[in-house]
Amino acid sequence: MPAALADLRRRRRALRLEHQHVRRWRLLLRDRIELAVAAAAPPRMPGEDPELRDLFLDRARPLPGAAELAGAVRGALPLAEIEQLPRLRALDHRLAEYQEQLGEALDDLTELYIEELARSVS
């Protein structure tokens, strides 16, 4: 493999890996935002709707209890957690911009790689 092609391949691999890491951080931040919102305004518990009980829940497997679900997702999160939302959203926005830049750089590098690959084949 020509040196230019190997270098482009190495750089492309590095950009893809960085893009994956940023994507994972954004997923973690979004989950954290969801938990902060749930601390202040939790969703309704599954099976709470009386109409559902008549329609479906007689066939459903036993549901976890409200305390069990709340403890699993809330843990030690206080209601003040909602105050973290602006900071968390700002972090996600900054990561989104970086992720977009990585995507553009990856696209550009992929084009160069393909051009170099085509030159090396002919």
Long-range pairs of 64-73 with CB within 8 A, sequence gap ≥ 24: 69/45, 70/42, 73/35, 73/38
Give, in degrees to the nearest 5, the angle at Cα 99 between 98 and 103: 115
Enumerate the domain spans of the chain. 3-42+78-121
Give the pLDDT of residue 95. 95
Residue with the larger pLDDT of the pair 57 and 24: 24
Give the pLDDT of residue 18. 97
Give, in degrees to the nearest 5, the angle at Cα 83 between 71 and 41: 45
Is the pLDDT assigned to residue 118 strictly greater than 80?
yes
Q: What percent of the chain has pLDDT over 90?
A: 43
Burial 91-113 (b: 16+ CB within 10 A, else e): bbeebeeebeebeeebeebeeeb
pLDDT band at 76 (very low <50, low <70, confident <90, very high): low
In angstroms, rounded to a whole number, what is the distance separating the alpha carbons of residues 55 and 43? 21
pLDDT band at 23 (very low <50, low <70, confident <90, very high): very high
Q: Model-level pTM?
A: 0.73
- Return the amino acid letter for 47: G
pLDDT band at 82 (very low <50, low <70, confident <90, very high): confident
